[in-house]
Structure 1
Amino acid sequence: MIELPRGSATGIGSLPGSDLVEAVKYSLGELPVAYLPELPNRGPGAELIGRGAGLLVGLPVELYTGRWRIASRGGRDLRRTHDLLERDLDQLTEQADGFAGPLKVQAAGPWTLAASIELALGQAVLSDHGAARDLSESLAEGLRLHVADMRRRVPGAQVILQLDEPSLPAVLAGQVRTASGLHTYRSVAESVAREALTRVIEAADAPVVLHCCAPDAPLALFRQAGAAGVALDLDQVKQLDPVGELIDAGLTLFAGAAATRGTRAPSSAAVADKVRTTWRTLGFSESQLPEQVVVTPACGLAGATPAYAREVLAACREAGRRLAEV
């Protein structure tokens, strides 16, 4: 279990707009678990796959027909990706001067990157077992350096790494389509998927939260790989027993309980009730809930309006406070 303030709340990752200064100020000042927001509306290199590709060590990438692929050497696209991240980290360093507390950073996981980045000939990295292993090793080293850089920049931070794996269920099921859309790549064995995740988790040297909001998120695999927490969309959870097993094993649940889009954000009471109802159904003590649950939006908020995103984060924050009043 990750040691966090009782009744914590945080964001999942992405936010709308392009004003990083305001996004970082809000995260540091208003959320019990601060995080470095992602602003994908800024374009290639700021979105999940581009940012993750930019963290790879020894595997340069480039954009080709709108998709990221492994390149022989880094060029303009990679320089832009690195520049965006460096500017974000510089802004975090400035705004977080004197900060002490939990600070989360997000990155695409090895299997989502392997399903999304292509080799030079056009097939996904996922198509080549050796290339997928090389990518996971490269990502492990990149994230080790990234976490160490976060600690250096914000010495008072308790750094938490969130690995986003939206593509992992499709990878395991052999449902990732080729570029033509006519075929799918062969499935990856759970043991192979677990090995790559464990490699990245162990290298990070920080508590790792695995995030997947798909209905068939492989929760047992996440636990076996060494995750300290899982981030789920509660509305997508079809079977609660695997969630209960994670909690029983001591993992922290980042409970996605607030819709990421809509005309009106849910109230903090509604968000708290959703989390509390799930917890009661699982049969755990309510006194344990604020120690082991972090309230979050259901997923990233890049597709929301700025006003809605702020209201949802505020509702999650207040819901966490409600849940701590037990």
Structure 2
Amino acid sequence: MTEQAWPWPTGAATGIGSLPGTDIAEAQRIVLGELPALPHLPELPARGPGADLLGRTAGLLVELPVELYAARWRIAPRPGRDLRRARDLMERDLDQLAEQAEEYAGPVKVQAASPFTLAAALELPIGGRLLRDPGAVRDLAGSLGEGLRGHVAAVARRLPRASVLLQLDEPSLPAVLAGRVPTESGLGTHRPVEGEVARALLGGVIEAAGAPTLVHCCAPDVPLELIRSAGAVGVALDLSLLTDLDPLGEAIDAGLGLLAGAAPTLPPAGGRAPTSAEVAARVRRVWDQLGFPRRRLAEQVVVTPACGLPGATPAYARAVLAACRDAGRRLAEE
């Protein structure tokens, strides 16, 4: 593999996105304090609709308004209160990021739902998931790409010395590709989306966003080659869900970066947060099993929790982020 520049510093650690609590100022302080090499814009789903991943991303869509109906997001005929709330929350979060990180000069990560997870969750005005209409999925991907371009630009304006890294959350992608997404009745499943179609739409969103993009998939059977060939610079996954290392080895060898989910999102019953030595050992063990030289580990790999941390206590979330940070530093010093 040829040498390449990664959009993160050597020995970096970051969070996946979501944190517990409802105070965005405090959450941003924790992220900037515990993850100084690669901070991210926190998501606080406990604040309610519009603060969750789907609501936040739906608020970014261009000319595709959404609303809440029976506690589910659906396409709306016109912008309304629910959309305003989602956009207001995002605006407040970006203002808080700008206030606290005004002089920050490194990479900063923002997260959004990816097109197929969005299509598997959003509903059509007439009912049923967007996923059942291939034309609607194409329109959604186009709207999302345009919205993400604007979002990346908004972050770059607020943090002029920083570089923006985009994370697309795609937990539903394996189910979409395999035809495992259930219909509304629960009696059937939606037709699988062909790999080439998925690659083209995901690649279009990544290209439109105009920022280095990684794809997060906290599911087994992550379609690594599809993600790499769509133009992602990295993949974020939960190491505990890996069953076959060969596809990951091939993707890393072909130049895909790895955000290695190595710290559990919840402590074992009555247990403590993992130490940085334990987190580093977990990442190192997988890397050694893959057979790559240690010198590349801290460059190509970013240490993260296994997934988001909305269900953790604030103390545990903070301890896990600190353990990931120090694990990254340990790996860089080897």
Question: Pairwise mapping of residues 250-265 of structure 1 onto structure 2 (< 5 A)?
Answer: 250-262=255-267, 263-265=271-273
Question: Pairwise mapping of residues 14-25 of structure 1 onto structure 2 (< 5 A)?
Answer: 14-25=18-29
Structure 1 residue matching 2:97: 3-state secondary structure: helix
| Structure-2 residue corresponding to 1:90 | 95
Whether the 8 Å CA contact 2:260–2:283 is kept in 1: the answer is yes
Structure 2 residue matching 1:215: 3-state secondary structure: coil
Whether the 8 Å CA contact 1:2–1:229 is kept in 2: the answer is no
Whether the 8 Å CA contact 1:109–1:165 is kept in 2: the answer is yes
| Structure-2 residue corresponding to 1:112 | 117
Question: Pairwise mapping of residues 1-326 of structure 1 onto structure 2 (< 5 A)?
Answer: 2-31=6-35, 32-262=37-267, 263-326=271-334
Structure 2 residue matching 1:6: 3-state secondary structure: coil
Whether the 8 Å CA contact 1:123–1:179 is kept in 2: the answer is yes
What is the Cα deviation at residue 246 of structure 1?
Answer: 1.7
Paired with 2:257 and 2:41, the residues of 1 have a C-alpha distance of 20
Q: Deviations over 1:66-110 (max 9, x none)?
A: 100001001110010011000001111111111110100000000
- Same amino acid, percent of matched pairs: 67
What is the Cα deviation at residue 29 of structure 1?
Answer: 2.7
Amino acid at match of 1:299: C
Structure 1 residue matching 2:288: 3-state secondary structure: helix
Paired with 1:295 and 1:130, the residues of 2 have a C-alpha distance of 38
Q: Deviations over 1:198-230 (max 9, x none)?
A: 011001111100000111111110011010010
Q: Deviations over 1:141-190 (max 9, x none)?
A: 00000001111110111110000000111111111112222221111001
Whether the 8 Å CA contact 2:114–2:168 is kept in 1: the answer is yes
Amino acid at match of 2:295: S
Unaligned runs of 5+ in 1: none
* Number of aligned residue pairs: 326
Scaled by the length of structure 1, the TM-score of the pair is 0.98
Higher mean displacement: 38-47 or 26-35? 26-35
Paired with 1:218 and 1:41, the residues of 2 have a C-alpha distance of 30
Paired with 1:301 and 1:8, the residues of 2 have a C-alpha distance of 19
Whether the 8 Å CA contact 2:218–2:238 is kept in 1: the answer is yes
Q: Deviations over 1:36-58 (max 9, x none)?
A: 00000000000011111111000
Structure 2 residue matching 1:323: 3-state secondary structure: helix
Whether the 8 Å CA contact 1:2–1:251 is kept in 2: the answer is no
Amino acid at match of 1:69: R
Scaled by the length of structure 2, the TM-score of the pair is 0.96
What is the Cα deviation at residue 121 of structure 1?
Answer: 1.2
Structure 1 residue matching 2:295: 3-state secondary structure: coil
Q: Deviations over 1:223-271 (max 9, x none)?
A: 1101001001000011111111121122211000000001311111110
Structure 2 residue matching 1:253: 3-state secondary structure: strand
Structure 2 residue matching 1:21: 3-state secondary structure: helix
What is the Cα deviation at residue 304 of structure 1?
Answer: 0.6
Amino acid at match of 1:42: R
Unaligned runs of 5+ in 2: none
Whether the 8 Å CA contact 2:7–2:165 is kept in 1: the answer is no
Paired with 2:313 and 2:326, the residues of 1 have a C-alpha distance of 20
Structure 2 residue matching 1:106: 3-state secondary structure: strand
Runs (4+) of structure 1 moved beyond 3 Å?
none
Higher mean displacement: 260-269 or 111-120? 260-269
RMSD over aligned Cα, in angstroms?
A: 0.9
Paired with 1:220 and 1:279, the residues of 2 have a C-alpha distance of 18
Whether the 8 Å CA contact 1:166–1:213 is kept in 2: the answer is yes
What is the Cα deviation at residue 3 of structure 1?
Answer: 3.3
Amino acid at match of 1:25: R
Structure 2 residue matching 1:3: 3-state secondary structure: coil
Amino acid at match of 1:9: A
